[in-house]
Amino acid sequence: MTKILVVGHKGQLGRLLYEFPTDFEHVGLDLPEFDMTDDLAVRERLDAIAPTVVINAAAYTNVDGAEANPDLAYAVNAHGAGHLAKSCRRLGIPLVHVSTNEVFDGEADRPYDEWDQPNARSAYARSKLAGEQAVRFYHDQVMIVRTAWLYGPGGNNFPAKIVAAADKHGELSVVDDEFGNPTYAPHLALAIMGLIGRSAPFGIYHLTNSGVASRYEFACEVLRQTGREHIPVMPIPHTAWPRPSQPPLRAVLANRAAAALGIVLPSWQDGVAEWRLQVQG
């Protein structure tokens, strides 16, 4: 039987992958019991579990925090990913590694294809790009899955923050010049399991909900679908919302590789609709 090891199984995406209903056996590893920055610990745990495929959904995702602590971001997102890849190579099993749209600089005037050259700008983005490079250096049986603007039915994510801020303040100001692909985590989990189930070719895949939105448009859709469309939303430029780390303004991803296999995620508006049903019933 296929045994899937989900590293980071307590996180937003990892939990969904760990609990995904399949005939496969699922095993999870996460902090504090498992430290992927410890090469020996990674080797010993993977040997003991003997999985047939590993999904790395673990990451240091505090984008602004990475500017103040780049060593920690690099230890988890680059070295930790490399440790997993080395153990997978030694065991002769594939690795699915989850990455981010932020490996691109966002300056292109079109969506980024899987084969486009990354140009990471922030400490977080550089650590994630280093992770991509590490897993491909150490192992040749790797699927890198880049996604964007991920949110799920639980947790402190963008839609949840928008609803909470709207209820608290009665009005919002949201950046309107940053664009991406809002991606509902259950849709991404289904697509990743689809890659595994199809024994997809190794390489890079862009998996996001279909369509493009600005942060402002994303927020307005969340308010509309949760019955809060009466709450005023002021569009503002990103310069009016200073942050320690500036995300790329237009790191929009194009899904070509997975689409060629028949894997296309629903629209981002459908993702918001399913999120609303999960959080509001």
Q: Residue 75 gets which letter from DSSP? A: I
DSSP 11-39: SHHHHHHHT--SSSEEEEE-TTT--TT-H
The one catalytic residue among 60, 112, 124, 151: 124
State whether residue 194 is helix, strand or coil: helix
Q: How many structural domains are present in the chain?
A: 1
pLDDT score of 81: 98
DSSP 210-235: BS-EEHHHHHHHHHHHTT-TTS-EEE
> Which residue carries 């959904």 as its tokens?
57
Angle separating helix axes 123-138 and 81-91, nearest 10 degrees: 10
Report how far apart, in Å, the C-alpha atoms of 103 and of each of 10, 48, 96, 147, 172 are: 24, 33, 17, 10, 29
Give the DSSP H/E element, type plus range, for residue 83. Answer: helix 81-91
Q: Which two tokens stand for residue 187?
A: 């849709």
Q: Which two tokens stand for residue 176?
A: 């309107």
pLDDT score of 3: 95
Q: What are phi and psi of 37, to 5 degrees?
A: -80, -5
- Expressed as residue numbers, the domain containing 118 is 3-154+182-210+252-265
Burial class from Cβ neighbours inside 10 Å (0-12, 13-18, 19+) for residue 156 reads exposed
Concerning whether 124 is annotated as a catalytic residue, the answer is: yes
- Report which residue type is found at 35: D
Task: For residues 17 and 144, give the distance between their C-alpha atoms in angstroms, rounded to a whole number.
Answer: 16
For residue 92, the domain's CATH number is 3.40.50.720
Within a domain: residue 47? yes
The predicted model scores a pTM of 0.96
Task: For residues 193 and 191, give the distance between their C-alpha atoms in angstroms, rounded to a whole number.
Answer: 5
Give the DSSP H/E element, type plus range, for residue 142. Answer: strand 142-147
pLDDT score of 280: 78
Task: For residues 160 and 95, give the distance between their C-alpha atoms in angstroms, rounded to a whole number.
Answer: 31
Q: What are phi and psi of 257, to 5 degrees?
A: -65, -50
Report how far apart, in Å, the C-alpha atoms of 8 and of each of 111, 194, 204, 215, 258 are: 29, 19, 20, 27, 23
Per-residue pLDDT of the chain (281 residues; tens, 9 = 90+): 789 999 999 999 999 999 998 888 999 999 999 999 999 999 999 999 999 999 999 999 999 999 999 999 999 999 999 999 999 999 999 999 999 999 999 999 999 999 999 999 999 999 999 999 999 999 999 999 999 999 999 878 999 999 999 999 999 999 999 999 999 999 999 999 999 999 999 999 999 999 999 999 999 999 999 999 999 999 999 999 888 888 999 999 999 999 999 999 999 999 999 999 988 76
Within a domain: residue 172? no
Within a domain: residue 189? yes
**How many CB atoms lie under 10 A from the CB of residue 203?**
12
Task: For residues 212 and 245, give the distance between their C-alpha atoms in angstroms, rounded to a whole number.
Answer: 22
| b (16+ CB within 10 A) / e for 191-200 | bbbbbbeeeb
